[in-house]
Structure 1
Amino acid sequence: MLQTHTVNGDVYVGRRRLRPRWLLVGAAVVLLAGTGAVVWLRPSGPAELRVTADLSANDAGPWGYASEDPGFPGPELAARLARPGAGTDGAVAHDVRVSGAASLEQQVVRLHLEGPRSGQVVVTDIRPVIRKRVPPLGGGLVWSPSQGSEDSAQTLLELDDRFPVLQAVVRDPGGNRNFPAGPYFPAHTIKLTDGETGEVVVTASAAKGAYDYDLAVFSQSGTEIKQTIVDDGGKPFRVTGFACSGPHEAAYHVVYFADGDFSLPRDPHPERFGTLPYC
C-alpha cells in the first residue's frame, strides 16, 4: 500500500516504499483465511491525488484521551494538567494528543484533497482500515468534557459497527446531536480538476472498543481506480470508548478530570470514576 508523504503540522501522511520483491512481481498475493481464495492487490496510491490529514481540530475542546499505559500521561504532563486553565489550553491538549494515547469517544480527522495539476481525479469512497480492535483502554484517562452542545459534523464513522462505512449526517435540532443518515458515498463524489482542492471532515467514534485504524481514500482517473492510505504520523489513528465497569461508572488506574478552575487534577477514585451518561 502506498501513502502520500506529507508533513502537515504535527500530522504526517506518507507513502510507504514498496519492497524490491513487490516491484519485481508488481503485485502482492493475499490468501483469505479459511476460504482458499486468492486476491491480487495492485500497488496503490495515485500520484495524481495528494491527501493530507489534520487532527488539530481535536485541540479546541472538549477533549479526552485514554491509554493502555497506567503511567499515562507521565509526570511532566500531569504537572501541566494541574494548573488552572489547563483544560482550555490548546497547547496542553495538543501535547496530550501527540503522546500516543487514543482519543476518547470520538476523533475529528480533516482530510485535505488536492487534485493533479492537469487533468481530473474523482474521489469515489473513503473507508476505514481497522488495524487493531481491543476492549476500551483502561490505563490512564485525561478528560476535559464538553460544557455545551455538540459541534456540527460533515461525516460520521462509527467504528463499533460490524462493517463501518462513512456516513452522511443529520442533526437533531432539538437535542443538538448528530446522527448517521446513510452512506456518504456514492451519493457524494468529489471531482478535483487542474489542482483543485477539497476537504472531507471525518468524525470517527467508538464506545464498545478501542481501535487503531487508517483511512483508505479511493479515487478514479479515467478507468483506473486507486487508493491512498492515510495515517497519523506513520502511526494509525486511535480512538477508544470508556472503560466501563458498571452503570455510569468506569475503572482506570489513574484519572485526570476537569475541576472548577479548568485545571485537570488527579481524581482520588479512578477505580470508580463517574461517567454519566457514557456507561
Structure 2
Amino acid sequence: MKFRRSQSEVADSGSATAGPGGHAVSGIHHDHRIYADHVTYAGPPPKRKAPTGVVAAGVAGVLVAGAAAVWFLFGWESRPDGSAFVVQSVTGPPGSPSGDRTFVLEDRRKLSSSELDAINSVSNAGGRQALVEVVPGGVPEDVATIVMTVSTERSEEVRITGIRALKECGTPFDGTYFDGYSQGNVDANVEIGMNLDSPEALAQPIIAKRPAGEPFFKKNSLPLTAGKSTTLTIGAFTSRHGCSFRLEVKVTASDGESTYVVDDHGQPFKVTSKVAVAGKFPLAGYQAAYMQDETYGWQSVDPSTFEGR
C-alpha cells in the first residue's frame, strides 16, 4: 500500500521516507520551529582593532549567546526521531465480510468454460478471495472492508485525530455481476465506517451495522505508541453509488499535524452498490451475470431474464 500526499495539502510538505515493508510514506508537517540553518546573518561590520581583553570578553559573550540561542531553539523540544505514522500491513478488498461471494466487475466479462471450471474448483473451499484471484478486478457490493495495522516510530505518544474518505463516486458499476449463494453481512470487527453517499465521508461509529452518529474523531482520538501495533478495521459503505476512494489519515504529534493518504498500490479502493431496477428481473441492470447455486458452483445466467432465487 502506498501513502501519498493529499492533493488538498500542497504547502509545507515533509520529505518522503520508506516505512517497514517498503511502504512509501509522505507527510505534511506544519513545523513552527526555527532551525539554525534557516537563519541568515547580515554582513560583518567594518573591522577595527580592540584591546585583547575586550576581544576575549567579546568572544566569550558570543559563545554564551550562541549557547543560549541553541538552548532557546532546541532546549525544550527535540527534533522528531522517526515517522509519526507507519503502516505495517493493509488488507483491502477483496477482504470482504466472511462468506460473501457477491462482487461486481466494472466491465462486461464473458467467461470461458475453462475459466468457469477454475472458479468452481476454488469457490467452495477458497471463498470470495480465491474467486477474485481467478477473476481479478472484483469490486465488493455495499461495503468494502479495510484492515490496517499501524504504529509509530516516535518515542513520544502520537494520536490519530481524523480519518475520512477521499472519494470519486458515480453510478453503480454495471459490468458483470457475480451473485454469490452465501451472502455475508457487515464484518463484526468493523469499528468505524464512512458513508460514501455523504458529502464529507468522515469516519463514524458503527451503529446497527452502518456508520451513524457524529464523526468519530470529534470527541475521540487513537493513540499510537512506539513498539506497539494498533489494528483498525474500517468499512466504506454505499447504497447508491459506485465509488473509488482513498483513506486520508491525520496524525498529531509534538511537531504538529501530518496528513497521510492510503491507497491500494497506487490505485484507489473500490466499492459499489447494486444497480437498482424495476420489475421482476433483479439483475437486468447488468451487462452479464453469473449465479452460484447451493452446491457453490457458478453458471452463466441472462441478466435480462433471470428472476432471482
TM range (shorter): 0.7 to 0.9
Shift of 1:88: 5.0
Tell me whether 1:81 sits opposite 2:119 in the alignment: yes
How do residues 108-257 of structure 1 correspond to structure 2 at under 5 angstroms? 108-130=145-167, 132-147=168-183, 150-152=186-188, 153-171=190-208, 177-178=209-210, 180-246=212-278, 249-250=282-283, 251-257=285-291
Taking structure 2 as the reference length, the TM-score comes to 0.66
Which amino acid in 2 is paired with 1:68? Answer: E
Which amino acid in 2 is paired with 1:108? Answer: T
Structure showing the higher helix proportion among its residues: 2
Closer/same/farther in 2, CA of residues 60 and 73 from structure 1, 3 Å limit: farther
Closer/same/farther in 2, CA of residues 72 and 133 from structure 1, 3 Å limit: farther
Greater Rg by CA: 2
CA distance in 2, matches of 1:136, 1:48: 37
Q: Aligned residue for 1:270?
A: 303
Q: Aligned residue for 1:42?
A: none
Is 2:103–2:179's contact at 8 Å kept on the other side of the alignment? Answer: yes
Unaligned runs of 5+ in 1: 18-45, 172-176
> Deviation per CA, 1:228-254, whole angstroms, max 9, x where unpaired?
110112210000111222257232121
CA distance in 2, matches of 1:117, 1:89: 40
Q: Aligned residue for 1:259?
A: 293
Closer/same/farther in 2, CA of residues 185 and 63 from structure 1, 3 Å limit: farther
Shift of 1:113: 1.3
Shift of 1:265: 1.6
Shift of 1:47: 2.5
Is 1:70–1:254's contact at 8 Å kept on the other side of the alignment? Answer: yes
Which amino acid in 2 is paired with 1:93? Answer: L
Shift of 1:60: 3.4
Q: Secondary structure at the match of 2:300?
A: coil
Unaligned runs of 5+ in 2: 6-15, 28-81
Tell me whether 1:65 sits opposite 2:103 in the alignment: yes
CA distance in 2, matches of 1:165, 1:210: 18
CA distance in 1, matches of 2:263, 2:159: 21
Closer/same/farther in 2, CA of residues 13 and 145 from structure 1, 3 Å limit: farther
- RMSD over aligned Cα atoms: 3.2
Taking structure 1 as the reference length, the TM-score comes to 0.72
Which amino acid in 1 is paired with 2:130? Answer: V
Closer/same/farther in 2, CA of residues 207 and 265 from structure 1, 3 Å limit: same
CA distance in 1, matches of 2:152, 2:235: 23
Q: Secondary structure at the match of 1:266?
A: strand
Is 1:61–1:144's contact at 8 Å kept on the other side of the alignment? Answer: no
**Percentage of pairs with the same residue:** 19
Is 2:83–2:154's contact at 8 Å kept on the other side of the alignment? Answer: no
